Amino acid sequence: MKSLSKSLLSAAFLCISSLALAQGNGVGGINEATRMVTSYFDPATKLIYAIGAVVGLIGGVKVYNKFSSGDPDTSKTAASWFGACIFLIVAATILRSFFL
């Protein structure tokens, strides 16, 4: 009985030690994830700039139409349009400096 418990105990230690060895290379996984995130960041930044350009064009047309029609709400529309464009540009720049 004593030899059976010793053999079971040694088998359990063998299984546990093989599981511990199977969990290695965590640093490699973190480095791979970092590489993937940084490779996606340049296209995402360009996409944000493109969205900012489209928002700028559409907002400019809206402001021009309101100004041409004599709408008294033109300054509010212009300020919100300008703020949205500045936010997109600054957000892309700050995110780029934060993650890279």
Q: How far is CA 87 from CA 17, 40, 47, 48, in A?
A: 53, 21, 14, 11
H helix intervals, the chain: 2-22, 26-69, 74-99
Question: What is the model's pTM?
Answer: 0.58
Q: What tokens appear for 6 in the block?
A: 């010793």
Cβ proximity of 81 and 62 under 8 Å: yes
pLDDT tens track for 37-56: 888 888 888 888 888 888 88
Compute mean pLDDT per 10 residues along the chain, 100 residues long, and list them.
73 66 72 86 85 86 89 86 84 79
Number of domains present in the structure of the chain: 1
Domain span at residue 67 reads 2-99
43 by DSSP, 3-state: which? helix
